[in-house]
Amino acid sequence: MTPAPLAFADALPWLLALTVVPLALASVAALVRPTARLAAPLTVVGSVGAAALGVALLAGAGTLDVRTGSLVDGLSVVDLRYDSLGAVFLVALGLSAAASAGSIVGTRARSRLEGAAFPAFLLAIVVVLGAANGFAFLFAWELMALLSAILVIGLRPTRAVLSAGYLYVAMTHVATVAILVAFAVLAAGTGAGLGFDAWRAASPALDPRARDVVFVLALAGFGTKAGAVPLHAWLPRAHPVAPSHVSAVMSGVMIKTGIYGLVRIVVDVLGGGPDWWGVAVLAIGAASAILGVLYALMQHDIKRLLAFHSVENIGIILLGVGASLVLAAHGATTLAAVALAAALFHSLNHAAFKTLLFLGAGAVLHATRVRDLNRLGGLARLMPVTALTFGVGAAAISGLPPLNGFASEWLTFQGLLGTAGETAVPPLVRFAGALAIGALGLTAALAVACFVKATGIAFLGLPRSREAATAHEASRPVLAALVGLAAACVVLGLGAGVASGTLTDVARSILPAGLASPVPVAAVTSLPRTEGAATYAALAGGLLIVIAAAGATFLVGRGMRRARRAETWTCGIEPAPQFQYTGTSFAKPIRLFFRRILLPERRVEVEYHPGTRVPVSIHYRGDVTLVLEDRVFRPAHALGVRAAQAVRRLQAGAIQLYLAYIVVAVLVLLLVTR
C-alpha cells in the first residue's frame, strides 16, 4: 500500500501538543487551584485533542514520531511513535475521557490529589499508546497503574475500598512484572536494544521457545490489565469503588491498554505464532465472555454489574484477536484482518457504551444514593434523559442492530466463522473456532438478558424505595456527556461501514503479509453489496429499521392516543412495588439454569412467634460462588499465607541461630561445589 499524501502531517505535532499541554495544565491546576475548577474543562480539551490526533492519524494513515536525543546506549528520554494502531485507542480514549471529564465540569474533586491524578492518568495512557521502546512503555504503564490506584483508593478509604485497592495494586504489579520479563526476554533474545522497531525486525530469528515465553508472559501481563479470566479478580472489585467518571475511563479505556499491548507485542512485534497461541486466546476470550456476563447477571449492585460486563466485552475482543492469530498463521490475511478489525472496533465501541453506562449509573447513584438495583425502579419518569441514554447504551452493549455493538459483534462472528471455515487451518483448530461461535452466541443472548434486567429494574415500573421515588434528573454537564455518548453509539453504528473499513486497513498494516483472499470476504458496509459474501449494510439497514419503526409508530400510535389508564393486573389486588420482579428474581431462571457454574447459595432464616409456627420475620440471603476467586485464588492465598507463617519460624531473632544458618549454608555449598 502506498502511503497516502499526508494532508494532516503538519497538524499532527500540534494535535499532540493540544493533547499533552491541556492535560498537564489540568493536573497542575487541580493541585494549585482546586477552587478554580479549571481541571475538568482543560481535561475535556486535552481529551478532544487526543481524539482529534487519533482521527487525523487514521485519516492520513501516517505516523507521528517524537524523539529526543539519546541519553544512554541509544535510549531516548522521549521516544514516541503514534501509528494507526495507537490511533484507534487514542480515539477511544478521547471519546471516553472527554465525556467523563465533561460530566464533572463544575464539581470539585474529592481531594487535590485525586483532582490532579485524573488528568495525569489520562496523560499516562496517551504516552502508553505511543511508547516506541520497552522502557518508555513500562514507565508510562507503571505511572498509569499507580495513578489509577490513587483514583480507586482515594484519600479516606473505607476498609472495603482499601482491600479492593490493594488487590488491584498487587495484581497490576504482578502484571507489570510479567511484561517486564517478556520485554527482557525480547531484548536479550534479539540483542537489539529496547526499541519496538528493532524487536519487530529481529523477532523472526528469535528462538521459538523464547517466542513462546514472550507470548505467555504478554498474555498473562496484558490479560491481567484487560481483566481477562482467570486474572480478572481485581476488576469487579476496583471499578465499582472508584468515582463514576473514573470507573468510566478505567472500564472504557484503561483495560483496553491491555488489548493494545497484546496486539502490539504478539501481533505486531512478534508477528503472530503457532496455532496454540490463537487457540489459547480464543479459550481465554470465550471463558471471559461467558463467565463475565453470567456473573454480571447475578449482581444487584449496578456498578459491579457493569464491571463484570467489562470482563465479558474483553472476552469478545479477545475472540477477535484469537481468530486473527489463527488465520494469520495460515496465511489467510484478508480474513485475519476482518477478525482483528472486529477486535479493534469492539474496543472502540466498548469505550463509547461502557463510558455511557458508567456515567448513567453514576447519575443514578448521585440522584438516589442507591446502587442496589433491588431498591431502584421507576426512574424513567424522574430522570427521562438518563433513562433514554442508558437504554441506548444497554441496547448497544447487548449487540442490537443498528447500534455499534452489533456491528463489531457481527464482524467477530464473521472472523470466527472464517476460522471454522478456512480449509488451511487444522480441523481441531477449526473446531475451536466453531466452539467460539457458540460461546459468542450464548454471550450475546445473556447480555440481552442482563441489560433488560439492569435497565428495566432500575428505570421502569414502580420505585422500590423512598430514595428511588424522590430521585432527580442529572446535572447539565452529565446529561451533555450522556447524550454525546449515546449519539456516538448511534453514529458508530450507522457509520460502521466507514469505521470497519478504516480499522480493516489498520489491521492489515500490522498483520504479516500473506495471501489476499481470492473471493470477497464478509464485511460491514454502508450500502448493500451484491458480491455474494456475507454483508451487513450498516447505514442502509439502520436507516431502514428507523424508517420502518417511525412508520409503525405512526400507525400504532394513532390508535393509542385515546388510550385510558388502568391499574396493572395483579390478580385484583392493588399493585404495590413489592409485587414486581427484582433484579435478583429476574435473574433466577438463569441462576438455576447455570447452577453448575454459578453454585448459588441460599440461606433462609425464619423467626417464629414463641410457641407457634407463625413467622415473625423471614430473612432470605442468596449469593453465587465466584468459582475462581472463592475456590481457587482464596485457598491459594490462604496456603501462601500459611507457608509464609511457617517460614517465619526460621526468623527467631537470635543471632546464634542466624550464625547456625550460615554454617549450614556454607556446608551445603561446600558439598555441592566440592
Partner 1 sequence: MSWGPAVTTIVLVALQLAVFTAFAPLLTGTIRRTKARLQGRRGAPLMQPYRDLVKWWGKTPLVGGTSGPVARHTPAVVLAALLVASLLVPFVAVRPPLAGWGDLFVVIGLLALARFAIALAALDAGGAFGGMGASRDVAISALAEPGLVLALAGAALAAGSSDLATMSAFGVHAGVGLLDPAHLLSAVAAGIVIVAETGHQPVDNPDTHLELTMIHEGMLLEASGRSLATLVFGSELKLVLLAAVFAAAFAPFGAATELTPLPLAIGALAGIAKLLVIGQVLALLDATVAKMRILALPDLLGLASLVALVAIGTQLIPLGS
Segment 538 to 557, residues that bind partner 1, using CB under 8 A: 540-541, 544-546, 548-553, 555-557
566 lies in the site for partner 1, by CB under 8 A: yes
- For partner 1, give the closer residue by CB, 122 or 439: 439
* C-alpha distance from residue 223 to each of 127, 174, 265, 463 (Å): 20, 11, 12, 40
Distance between CA atoms of residues 257 and 225, nearest Å: 7
> Under DSSP, is residue 65 helix (H, G, I), strand (E, B) or coil?
strand
Of 391, 435, 399, nearest to 416 by C-alpha is: 435
445 lies in the site for partner 1, by CB under 8 A: yes
Q: How far is the CB of 571 from partner 1 (least distance, A)?
A: 7
- For partner 1, give the closer residue by CB, 96 or 368: 368
**Contacts of partner 1 in 473-532 (CB under 8 A):** 522, 528-532
Choose which of 406, 471, 502, 510 interacts with partner 1 (CB under 8 A): 406
- For partner 1, give the closer residue by CB, 70 or 568: 568
Choose which of 203, 324, 414, 500 interacts with partner 1 (CB under 8 A): 414
Of 309, 185, 190, 202, nearest to 248 by C-alpha is: 309
**Contacts of partner 1 in 574-633 (CB under 8 A):** 575, 577, 579-581, 585-590, 592-594
229 lies in the site for partner 1, by CB under 8 A: no
Distance between CA atoms of residues 414 and 346, nearest Å: 13
- For partner 1, give the closer residue by CB, 29 or 538: 538
- For partner 1, give the closer residue by CB, 51 or 436: 436
Q: What is the DSSP string of 468-510?
A: HHT--PPPHHHHHHHHHHHHHHHHHHHTHHHHHHHHHHHHHHH
Of 2, 4, 121, nearest to 56 by C-alpha is: 4
- For partner 1, give the closer residue by CB, 247 or 443: 443
DSSP state of 301: B
**Contacts of partner 1 in 107-136 (CB under 8 A):** none
Q: How far is the CB of 147 from partner 1 (least distance, A)?
A: 38
469 lies in the site for partner 1, by CB under 8 A: no
> Under DSSP, is residue 126 helix (H, G, I), strand (E, B) or coil?
helix
Choose which of 59, 138, 452, 628 interacts with partner 1 (CB under 8 A): 452
Q: How far is the CB of 288 from partner 1 (least distance, A)?
A: 16
534 lies in the site for partner 1, by CB under 8 A: yes
Q: Tell me the window of 106-114, 244-252, 450-458, 654-662 that interacts with partner 1 (CB under 8 A).
A: 450-458
**Contacts of partner 1 in 378-397 (CB under 8 A):** 378, 380-381, 391, 395
191 lies in the site for partner 1, by CB under 8 A: no
Choose which of 225, 303, 430, 508 interacts with partner 1 (CB under 8 A): 430
Choose which of 569, 602, 650, 670 interacts with partner 1 (CB under 8 A): 569
Cis previous bond, 402, omega within 30: yes
- For partner 1, give the closer residue by CB, 19 or 455: 455
**Contacts of partner 1 in 37-96 (CB under 8 A):** none
- For partner 1, give the closer residue by CB, 264 or 430: 430
Encode 550-575: b = buried (16+ Cβ within 10 Å), e = exposed.
eeeeeeeeeeeeeeeeeeeeeeeeee
Q: How far is the CB of 416 from partner 1 (least distance, A)?
A: 8
C-alpha cell at 361: 449509573
316 lies in the site for partner 1, by CB under 8 A: no
205 lies in the site for partner 1, by CB under 8 A: no
15 lies in the site for partner 1, by CB under 8 A: no
Q: Tell me the window of 82-90, 95-103, 429-437, 487-495 that interacts with partner 1 (CB under 8 A).
A: 429-437
Distance between CA atoms of residues 275 and 322, nearest Å: 9
Q: Tell me the window of 54-62, 258-266, 338-346, 432-440 that interacts with partner 1 (CB under 8 A).
A: 432-440
Of 454, 482, 468, nearest to 370 by C-alpha is: 468
Distance between CA atoms of residues 202 and 191, nearest Å: 8
572 lies in the site for partner 1, by CB under 8 A: no
> Under DSSP, is residue 623 helix (H, G, I), strand (E, B) or coil?
strand
Q: How far is the CB of 403 from partner 1 (least distance, A)?
A: 9
Are the beta carbons of 496 and 541 closer than 8 angstroms? Answer: no
> Under DSSP, is residue 71 helix (H, G, I), strand (E, B) or coil?
strand
Q: How far is the CB of 62 from partner 1 (least distance, A)?
A: 33
Distance between CA atoms of residues 261 and 254, nearest Å: 11
Distance between CA atoms of residues 169 and 233, nearest Å: 12
Distance between CA atoms of residues 438 and 433, nearest Å: 9
* Single-letter amino acid, residue 254: M
Choose which of 75, 113, 174, 435 interacts with partner 1 (CB under 8 A): 435
Distance between CA atoms of residues 4 and 94, nearest Å: 24
454 lies in the site for partner 1, by CB under 8 A: no
Choose which of 26, 42, 255, 440 interacts with partner 1 (CB under 8 A): 440
Distance between CA atoms of residues 486 and 483, nearest Å: 5
Q: Tell me the window of 266-274, 328-336, 352-360, 570-578 that interacts with partner 1 (CB under 8 A).
A: 570-578
Distance between CA atoms of residues 364 and 360, nearest Å: 6
- Residues in the interface with partner 1 (CB under 8 A) total 95
322 lies in the site for partner 1, by CB under 8 A: no
- For partner 1, give the closer residue by CB, 190 or 443: 443
Q: How far is the CB of 427 from partner 1 (least distance, A)?
A: 4
**Contacts of partner 1 in 345-384 (CB under 8 A):** 377-378, 380-381
Q: How far is the CB of 322 from partner 1 (least distance, A)?
A: 17
Are the beta carbons of 336 and 419 closer than 8 angstroms? Answer: no
Are the beta carbons of 343 and 263 closer than 8 angstroms? Answer: yes
466 lies in the site for partner 1, by CB under 8 A: no
Q: How far is the CB of 624 from partner 1 (least distance, A)?
A: 15
* Single-letter amino acid, residue 121: F
C-alpha cell at 106: 463544575
Of 144, 213, 131, 143, nearest to 179 by C-alpha is: 213
Phi/psi region, residue 399 (left: phi>0; alpha: psi -120 to 50; beta: rest), is: left
Q: Tell me the window of 249-257, 319-327, 436-444, 612-620 that interacts with partner 1 (CB under 8 A).
A: 436-444
Q: How far is the CB of 221 from partner 1 (least distance, A)?
A: 31
Give the H or E element holding residue 76: strand 75-76
Burial class of residue 10 in the structure, from the number of CB atoms within 10 Å of its CB (0-12 exposed, 13-18 middle, 19+ buried): exposed
Choose which of 248, 420, 489, 499 interacts with partner 1 (CB under 8 A): 420
Q: How far is the CB of 474 from partner 1 (least distance, A)?
A: 18
Q: How far is the CB of 470 from partner 1 (least distance, A)?
A: 16
Q: Tell me the window of 208-216, 413-421, 492-500, 623-631 that interacts with partner 1 (CB under 8 A).
A: 413-421
Distance between CA atoms of residues 218 and 176, nearest Å: 10
Are the beta carbons of 179 and 261 closer than 8 angstroms? Answer: yes
* Single-letter amino acid, residue 297: L
- For partner 1, give the closer residue by CB, 82 or 451: 451
